[in-house]
Chain A
Amino acid sequence: MKRSLPLAMLLAFGLATAARAANEADYKAAYATAEAASKEAAGLRNQWTVTVSTLAAAKKAADGGDFDRATAAAREAEALAKASIFQAASEKEAWKAMEIR
């Protein structure tokens, strides 16, 4: 009993944290990070259309006051932008494997 009480408290605390609704500050932080990654991808001339549309969806959700959805979309946009940055870096050499010689 003594041992299970702290464990249960920890679990309850964890669930409560995870279930906390995102607020405007969370969204703004997530959006800023995603936007920076998106700009980096565009600078590499390797922007993905889905990054742009997901960022737009994040903004639209935030404008409607749905910060849960907005934050989730911003994080997704960040992941997409980072994937496109990774693609640009790896393709610097990888394209040669496709070349007809």
Chain B
Amino acid sequence: MKTRSALLLGSLSAALVAFALTSPRVVAADKVDPVADAKAFQNFFFQKFPDVKHEDFVNGPYSMNADMKRQWQEKEEFPPYEFALDAGKEMFATPFKNGKTYADCFPNGGVGIRQNYPYFDEKEGKVVTLELALNRCREANGEAPYSYVKDEMASLTAYMAFTSRGKPMDIKIPDDPRALAAFENGKRYFYTRRGQMNFSCASCHVQSPGERIRAEVLAPALGILNAMPIYRSEWSGMGTTSRRFVTCNSQTRAVPLEPQSDEYRDVEYFLSYVANGLPISGPGARP
């Protein structure tokens, strides 16, 4: 009888200790902690690809495949995004009808600031991306907004990214529950499966970077936005971050959301924040 009581007491104590040890973990896991998330995110890729230099992740599939990297480096001598870059530079300097320019809408005249976008606007309570800020600038100066997915918007963001090349991504999350909610919402969007293919962003860019999907080599999620906007041979032209999200959704057979919807802004916030410290490499070129 004594043995049975001792066993029972022992089991109960073990269960209590186990509960005490695991319950804080559960609470911690449910708390929004962007710093811990970014650290875990980066470590995952650094450990999965120990031979890839950290700053090389921003080069997407080229960081995963030596042959592709060599071809890309040769292509970079006459990069396919050069026309967009030149057009963007000219557009950026050309005054609106009211005489003002894009430089009047941005800190530091819009030069070398790409690494700070997207940011959380505490006044609006929402994430503001570079594309959104550019169109707001146009509208504030009496100009019609551009399409978010290509052409002029891609050219403008290409030029702005170019002026930030090499600068480390530097996204801030203010101590504001709405900013934390936006980060968490972006994270949820990134990991949520959607479309008839039942794919999440992570299915390709976390679980399978470096693997082939048909003829393409999948890029790692880490630093994936640092190269935006990109010239894609598949598109025969330039595309913005918005275009990338829209086409990714379509490829999983999900109806894409409207460009610059809250979800897309939030997932851009999440992906950019977890790439903090990695250099801006845009505009980029991809197969």
Q: Cα distance A49–B257 when bound, in Å?
A: 12
Of chain B, the residue at the smallest CB distance from A99 is B191
Stretch among B99-107, B144-152, B196-204, B228-236 lining the A interface = B196-204
Residue numbers in A under 8 Å from B257 (CB-CB): 45
Q: Cα distance A95–B194 when bound, in Å?
A: 10
Stretch among B80-88, B131-139, B248-256 lining the A interface = B248-256
Contact B196 A50 (CB under 8 A): yes
- A101 proximal to B (CB < 8 A): yes
Contact B195 A49 (CB under 8 A): yes
| A residues 82-101 touching B (CB-CB < 8 Å) | 83-84, 87, 91, 94-96, 98-101
Contact A87 B193 (CB under 8 A): yes
Residue numbers in B under 8 Å from A83 (CB-CB): 196
Contact A99 B255 (CB under 8 A): no
- B11 proximal to A (CB < 8 A): no
Of chain B, the residue at the smallest CB distance from A101 is B40
A1 to chain B, nearest CB (A): 52
Residue numbers in A under 8 Å from B263 (CB-CB): 45
Contact A49 B253 (CB under 8 A): yes
Q: Given A48-B255, A49-B255, verify A87-B200 contact (CB < 8 Å).
A: no
Total contacting residues, chain A, CB less than 8 A = 20
Q: Cα distance A5–B195 when bound, in Å?
A: 51
Our pick among B192, B203, B250 for the contact of A49 (Cβ within 8 Å) is B250
Greatest chain B CB density within 10 A among A42, A45, A83 is at A45
Contact A100 B254 (CB under 8 A): no
Residue numbers in B under 8 Å from A91 (CB-CB): 192-194
- A71 proximal to B (CB < 8 A): no
Total contacting residues, chain B, CB less than 8 A = 25
| A residues 44-86 touching B (CB-CB < 8 Å) | 45-50, 52, 80, 83-84
Contact B255 A87 (CB under 8 A): no
Q: Cα distance A45–B253 when bound, in Å?
A: 13
Q: Cα distance A83–B197 when bound, in Å?
A: 11
Contact A48 B253 (CB under 8 A): yes
Q: Given A42-B255, A46-B254, verify A100-B192 contact (CB < 8 Å).
A: no
Residue numbers in A under 8 Å from B187 (CB-CB): 99
- B29 proximal to A (CB < 8 A): yes
Q: Cα distance A48–B206 when bound, in Å?
A: 23
Contact B255 A52 (CB under 8 A): yes
- B44 proximal to A (CB < 8 A): yes
Greatest chain B CB density within 10 A among A47, A50, A80, A98 is at A98
A34 to chain B, nearest CB (A): 15
Of chain A, the residue at the smallest CB distance from B253 is A49
Residues of chain B having any CB pair with chain A under 8 Å = 29, 37, 40-41, 44, 187-188, 191-196, 198, 200, 202-203, 206-207, 250, 253-255, 257, 263
5 contacts between A and B (CB under 8 A): A50-B196, A95-B191, A95-B192, A98-B207, A100-B41
Given contacts A46-B194, A50-B253, 15 further A-B contacts (CB under 8 A): A47-B254, A48-B255, A49-B254, A91-B192, A91-B194, A94-B193, A95-B191, A95-B192, A95-B200, A98-B191, A98-B202, A100-B37, A100-B40, A100-B44, A101-B40
